[in-house]
Amino acid sequence: MLRNITIKELQNLEELAKKSPRKRMNFNFHDTAGDPLQRMLHAMQPGTYVQPHKHENPDKREAFIVLTGRLAVLEYNDNGNVINYIILDREEGNFGTEVAPRTWHSIIALTENSVVYEIKDGPYSPIDDKNFAKWAPREGDAECLPYLQDLIKKLKLE
């Protein structure tokens, strides 16, 4: 069975992300949370906040491939300092990145209608899928937007 990624599908997902309070929306290609290979589209709008996290115990790899827009994938040290990042932008020739297990990371949408294809080791379990950084605001906290804006300013991502 073919599972296609078309401009129409991307546009539908982008519209759903615009209407979402979280400013992002995903579409899963895997049929169950137990699938050993999780595959999904993530549409993100500027201002969405993905709390820095890592995948360990169980260790999982995660890869992002940009389809539309412009995003930053950030790597942090254990103290919450950004130690590396890449701007995913097809026009710049930066198509994707893979995040190693046990690596603090997050992703920031820099333009409207940014979509990545994400691949991650499964299975998915909400109990232990992500270890969220205690040095960063939790999603939904009032500090999220200022934290995000500070990262964008410090790294000159505008």
Is residue 105 within 8 Å of residue 131, measured between CB atoms?
A: no
Of 18, 47, 45, 13, nearest to 29 by C-alpha is 13
pLDDT confidence bin for 37, thresholds 50/70/90: very high
Q: What is the pLDDT of residue 9?
A: 95
pLDDT confidence bin for 48, thresholds 50/70/90: very high
pLDDT confidence bin for 138, thresholds 50/70/90: very high
Of 32, 106, 111, 100, nearest to 67 by C-alpha is 111
Q: What is the pLDDT of residue 152?
A: 96
pLDDT confidence bin for 101, thresholds 50/70/90: very high
Q: What is the pLDDT of residue 126?
A: 86
pLDDT(113) > 90: yes
Q: Indicate the domain borders of the chain.
A: 7-154
- Select 7-154's CATH number: 3.40.1190.20, 1.10.357.10, 3.40.50.12780, 2.60.120.10: 2.60.120.10
Q: What is the pLDDT of residue 65?
A: 98
pLDDT digits (tens, 9 = 90+) for 114-127: 999 999 999 999 88
pLDDT digits (tens, 9 = 90+) for 64-79: 999 999 999 999 999 9
> DSSP secondary-structure letter at 67?
E
Backbone angles phi, psi at 120, to 5 degrees: -145, 145
Looking at this protein, which amino acid is placed at residue 37?
L
Q: What is the pLDDT of residue 158?
A: 78
